């Protein structure tokens, strides 16, 4: 490209300009007055960035590339701003940043083998081992997956393979009808896994929950018969939702499973971002790792489960005639072939930042948010709010909010003027329906640079915008009260 | 973390040190004398990096983090060195590098929605459109996937869903027995997809190939009956291997499919890294994109196929009550939930570098490699070599190489002394078995900074090491001649 044509000197000067651009960006996102995003319509955004969205045939010069990138950053959501909280992806801090840069520089393919990625294969091993220690497993296996949904897919796959290894060669026709049980509020990737694996979404049985905002004791899916274990599981399967981030009582479920169906025919797995020593597999964050481990199996067997399930022994990649222990050629355990090197950055999350201190700080901040929620007049005073670690969920005490059905076309996201980066400071926070309650806020306090003042600002924004949206509009006909029991 | 505690000034000084580290690294990989890797045993590598592989409870200071990273780079494979060619992942050049850095800085989750990733959602759209144009499709759909294997999984999923949409809810039990046809040398992810999807690897029918090194006209899998279309396809399915990178005659296959089984009941798809306008889906590199398109379907239907197949309409993420066209909330088409932002870098590959010029240069270089192969006495003179774009495959004319069976435990990788980064310059090149021929070299000329001198160096290395390994060792009993017809 243009820089490499100019040789090393050209590259140095280009990188210097890139660093200036990055420092300017850093400076902006560290300024509390910076808006994390200004809503821009698709059309306006497309027009403003038309040059950056073009794919020219001829190479662009470096100045133009830099200027395009600068323009791109202007319109992108500034995830790193202190009050930004919509995405559960946290803002990066220096050490992971450094590691991401070096990852780009090395551009290693985690593809498959020790010889291609010697250092990173070892890093993956120690990181998975550390995660298993945190969970409480003495031994096991694991793989890094590109996100929680793929991790859930892995978990369902190894569960199926563990009980019915013939499925790998002969497919679902060769095995009895299988069922998955999960909470009716569980992450959608559970159903998606069933669809992908050829089990079908109908094979997923949804168990009722008793969360604080939407308690219920009846059986889900009364219209169709459920396997006997479903009734057993339903008794114990409580407080389990993706939005609220509740935990399953996995030890109790494991007891039911053993009593009801005999050991070996079921597999327990917690939700995407939690884990427990009673489970068979788990997904650990940060780093999108999925250490897997099969309880009640012989160590030899469970350690080989991912390999057995996913291994294809492609001899053009996984040659056996090597000078080292080829069990370190881990790629055959993956459902991917080439993989991006994600471990170098994941390790930093565990290593350089004092993970424990940071989580403690974020939980303190989440507690502060809970206290403020109770003391702010317009918000529900406590009974609509739940907290799990850094996650705080709450309803807003605006009359029209309470009487709205989910998805009725009302705008609930803060409405702001167009144009990037101008105007007063603002924030983003996720919202979603919860059962038959209207849009509900889910705030994940995940930025260690945030302070109590940023939390106050967030609440001020919610008060201000909910007043603008709901109290200043006339009543609309046809919007019935959808309030649940907690109302 | 430590840097953010020191505030913006601390971050600036940290970044400055990181840049120094990167420039030093760049300088090294640009030096033709730098070894791309020195083989280090697992034990030695683990010992040398023991500090970097530890996961401490307390935060490390920034100096320590920098020093750990420096040590890590020392032992990592230097993919960017000019003669390095094992990985099909190309070395990054300045513009993608810049974009990777900015991606780390913005840390945007490509998760799902326009509002979370406004700029990048638009970039994904224009990139996929450009790729469809290259293929020759007037309209269509697509998604970015984390690698070619997952792309192949997507392709098999949408093919299945297209013909049997009931599979999503009711699983493989609800549909007739399905079959996939592919070359016996196709990428292993085809079989892997069948295993994942609950079809089973037995449902994959392998069709013989007639590539130059291993011609054969018999039917594969004679031991079991094949559907009638298999026999038809077998006639036309030629020159199709992952190692050689051959193309299928997709237009001819499409004709067979229509004649033999009626339109709509089959689905054609080229190998992972190629595409053609006669196919239904394709994987495009670089950028790991999988634009998908359903030939013979109504435009409305084929545009909605990914959404139909993978959509879960999770209302906690994909709210319908928004101020913009929610068809831009593309996450529901994906089998992932959170996705890394890979599009910003992919666009650079298409944009800033003059992709056409670069590919032309690399093909010239590959041609040069072919010429040199023919003129170097120790290598096969032409008939063992094939070239597809940047990919050159060749055999080495060493007596013991020819008589070796694949996977007999012989070391064929260049054996070097231990210790990172010292010693003379060396290189890496991929090798794999091909049919009943012994280890075979697959060189993908992918580094635009490489020159003819680097190609010469590669050939010198192969000559030198093959002589060391094969000609200086005594004959071993029991290694029979496995030579194919091309020998």
SS (H, E, C) chain B: CHHHHCHHHHHHHHHHHHHHHHHHHHHHHHCCCCCCCCCCCHHHHHHHCHHHHCCCCCCCCHHHHHHHHHHHHHHCCCCCCCCCCCCCCCCCCHHHHHHHHHHHHHCCECCCCCCCCHHHHHHHHHHHHHHHHHHCCCCCEEEECCCHHHHHHHHHHHHHHHHCCCHHHHCHHHCCCCCEEEECECCCHHHHHHHHCCCCHHHEEEECCCCCCCCCCCCCCCCCCCCHHHHHHHHHCCCCECCCCCCCCHHHHHHHHHHHHCCCCCCCCCCCCCCCCCCCECCECCCCEEEECCCCCCHHHHHCHHHHHHCCCCCCCCCCCCCCCHHHCHHHHCCCCCCECCHHHHHHHHHCCCHHHHHHHHHHHHHHHHHHHHHCCCECCCCCCEEECCEEEECECCHHHHHCCCCCCCCCCCCCCCCCCCCCCCCCCEEEEECCEEEEEEEECCCCCCCHHHHHHHHHHHHHHHHHHHHCCCCCCCCCCCCCCCC
CB contact under 8 A, B200 and A114: no
ipTM for the whole predicted complex goes beyond 0.85: no
Confidence of residue A430 (pLDDT cuts 50, 70, 90): low
CB pairs under 8 A between A and B: 506
In chain B, where does the domain assigned CATH 3.90.1150.170 lie? 2-92, 355-471
pLDDT at A167: 95
| Strand runs labelled E in B257-399 | 289-292, 386-388, 391-394
CB contact under 8 A, B338 and A148: yes
Whether residue A280 has pLDDT greater than 60: yes
Between these two residues, A98 and B475, which has the higher pLDDT value?
A: A98
Confidence of residue B412 (pLDDT cuts 50, 70, 90): very low
pLDDT at A207: 74
Whether residue A401 has pLDDT greater than 90: no
Q: Which of A210-219, A244-253, A307-316, A400-409 has the lowest mean pLDDT?
A: A210-219
Q: Which of A128-137, A243-252, A266-275, A373-382 tops mean pLDDT?
A: A128-137
Whether residue A144 has pLDDT greater than 70: yes
Chain B hits for A438, CB-CB cut-off 8 Å, are: none
The CATH architecture one would assign to domain B106-350 is 3-Layer(aba) Sandwich (3.40)
Residues 94 through 113 of chain B touching chain A, CB cutoff 8 Å = 94-109, 111
CB contact under 8 A, A49 and B14: no
Between these two residues, A243 and B419, which has the higher pLDDT value?
A: A243
CB contact under 8 A, A147 and B102: no
CA distance B236 to chain A (A): 25
Whether residue A299 has pLDDT greater than 60: no
Whether residue B140 has pLDDT greater than 60: yes
pLDDT, tens digit, 9 for 90 and up, residues B243-289: 555 555 666 666 665 555 443 345 555 443 333 445 666 666 543 23
Average pLDDT of the segment spanning A181-199:
86
The CATH architecture one would assign to domain A355-471 is Alpha-Beta Complex (3.90)
Provide the CA B12 distance to its chain's centre, in angstroms: 37
pLDDT at B334: 79
Chain A hits for B120, CB-CB cut-off 8 Å, are: 76
Average pLDDT of the segment spanning A59-87:
71
CB contact under 8 A, A352 and B59: yes
Q: What CATH class does B2-92 carry?
A: alpha beta
pLDDT, tens digit, 9 for 90 and up, residues B330-363: 777 777 777 777 777 666 655 545 566 777 787 8
Element (H, E) at B206: strand B204-207
CA distance B235 to chain A (A): 25
Average pLDDT of the segment spanning A265-274:
47
Residues 282 through 341 of chain A touching chain B, CB cutoff 8 Å = 288, 309-310, 312, 314-317, 319-325, 328, 335-340
pLDDT at A128: 79
In chain B, where does the domain assigned CATH 3.40.640.10 lie? 106-350
pLDDT at A173: 92
| C-alpha span between A428 and A37 (Å, rounded) | 8
Residues 433 through 452 of chain B touching chain A, CB cutoff 8 Å = 433-434, 439, 442, 448-449
Chain B hits for A316, CB-CB cut-off 8 Å, are: 242-243, 432-434, 442
Task: Supply A472's token pair.
Answer: 């200043």
pLDDT at A176: 92
Chain A hits for B168, CB-CB cut-off 8 Å, are: 195, 200-201
Whether residue A198 has pLDDT greater than 90: yes
Whether residue A110 has pLDDT greater than 60: no
Q: Which of A197-206, A269-278, A377-386, B173-182 has the lowest mean pLDDT?
A: A269-278
Q: Which of A44-58, A354-368, B68-82, B408-422 has the lowest mean pLDDT?
A: B408-422
CB contact under 8 A, A102 and B350: no
Whether residue B192 has pLDDT greater than 80: yes
Average pLDDT of the segment spanning B320-333:
72
pLDDT at B248: 57
pLDDT, tens digit, 9 for 90 and up, residues B8-59: 677 778 778 888 888 888 778 777 777 777 777 888 888 888 887 777 667 6
Average pLDDT of the segment spanning A464-475:
60
State whether residue A146 sits within 8 Å of chain B by CB: yes
Provide the CA B436 distance to its chain's centre, in angstroms: 24
Which residue of B40, B91, B319 is in closest CB contact with A432? B319
Q: Which of A73-82, A237-246, A464-473 has the lowest mean pLDDT?
A: A237-246
| C-alpha span between B109 and A100 (Å, rounded) | 15
Q: Which of A386-395, B357-366, B372-381 has the lowest mean pLDDT?
A: B372-381
Q: Average per-residue pLDDT in chain A?
A: 65
Between these two residues, A215 and B334, which has the higher pLDDT value?
A: B334
Average pLDDT of the segment spanning A162-186:
88
Whether residue B295 has pLDDT greater than 50: no
Whether residue B174 has pLDDT greater than 90: yes
Whether residue A197 has pLDDT greater than 50: yes
Whether residue A273 has pLDDT greater than 50: no
State whether residue B11 sits within 8 Å of chain A by CB: yes
Q: Which of A244-253, B71-80, B339-348 tops mean pLDDT?
A: B71-80
CB contact under 8 A, A55 and B351: yes
Which of A120, A198, A329 is the best mutation test for B, with the most CBs of B within 10 A?
A198
Between these two residues, A30 and B456, which has the higher pLDDT value?
A: B456
pLDDT at B111: 57
Residues 468 through 487 of chain A touching chain B, CB cutoff 8 Å = none
Whether residue A232 has pLDDT greater than 70: no
CB contact under 8 A, A354 and B41: no
Whether residue A462 has pLDDT greater than 60: yes
State whether residue B69 sits within 8 Å of chain A by CB: yes
Whether residue B109 has pLDDT greater than 80: no
Confidence of residue B439 (pLDDT cuts 50, 70, 90): low
């Amino acid at each position: 490209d243009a820089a490499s044509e100019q040789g090393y000197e050209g590259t140095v000067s280009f990188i210097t300009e890139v660093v200036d651009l990055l420092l300017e960006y850093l400076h902006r996102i560290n300024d509390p007055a910076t808006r994390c995003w200004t809503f821009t319509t698709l059309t306006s955004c497309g027009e403003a960035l038309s040059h950056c969205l073009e794919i020219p045939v001829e190479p662009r010069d470096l100045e133009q590339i830099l200027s395009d990138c600068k323009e791109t950053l202007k319109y992108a959501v500034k995830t790193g701003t202190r009050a930004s909280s919509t995405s559960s992806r946290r803002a990066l801090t220096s050490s992971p940043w450094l590691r991401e840069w070096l990852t780009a520089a090395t551009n290693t393919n985690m593809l498959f083998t020790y010889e291609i990625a010697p250092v990173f294969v070892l890093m993956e091993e120690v990181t998975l081992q550390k995660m298993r220690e945190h969970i409480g497993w003495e031994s096991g296996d694991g793989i890094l997956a590109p996100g929680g949904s793929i991790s859930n897919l892995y978990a369902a796959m190894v569960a199926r393979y563990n009980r019915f290894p013939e499925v790998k060669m002969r497919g679902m026709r060769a095995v009895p009808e299988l069922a998955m049980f999960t909470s009716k509020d569980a992450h959608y990737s559970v159903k998606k896994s069933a669809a992908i694996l050829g089990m079908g979404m109908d094979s997923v049985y949804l168990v009722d929950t008793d969360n604080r905002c939407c308690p219920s004791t009846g059986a889900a899916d009364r219209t169709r018969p459920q396997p006997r274990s479903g009734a057993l599981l339903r008794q114990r399967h409580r407080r389990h939702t993706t939005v609220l981030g509740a935990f399953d009582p996995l030890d109790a479920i494991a007891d039911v499973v053993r009593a009801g169906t005999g050991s070996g025919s079921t597999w327990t797995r917690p939700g995407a971002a939690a884990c427990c020593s009673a489970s068979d597999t788990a997904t650990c964050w940060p780093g999108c790792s999925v250490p897997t481990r099969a309880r009640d199996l012989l160590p030899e067997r469970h350690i080989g489960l991912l390999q057995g399930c996913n291994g294809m022994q492609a001899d053009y990649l996984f040659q056996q005639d090597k000078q080292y222990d080829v069990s370190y050629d881990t790629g055959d355990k993956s459902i991917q072939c080439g993989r991006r090197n994600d471990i170098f950055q994941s390790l930093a999350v565990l290593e350089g930042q004092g993970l424990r201190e940071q989580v403690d700080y974020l939980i303190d901040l989440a507690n502060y948010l809970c206290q403020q929620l109770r003391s702010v007049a317009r918000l529900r005073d406590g009974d609509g709010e739940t907290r799990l670690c850094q996650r705080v969920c709450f309803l807003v005490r605006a009359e029209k909010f309470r009487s709205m059905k989910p998805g009725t076309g009302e705008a609930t996201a803060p409405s702001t003027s167009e144009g990037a980066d101008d105007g007063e400071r603002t924030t983003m926070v996720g919202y979603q329906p919860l059962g038959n309650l209207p849009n509900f806020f889910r705030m994940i306090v995940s930025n260690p640079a945030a302070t109590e003042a940023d939390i106050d600002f967030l609440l001020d924004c919610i008060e201000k915008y909910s007043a603008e949206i709901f109290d200043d509009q006339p009543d609309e006909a046809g919007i019935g009260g959808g309030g649940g029991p907690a109302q």
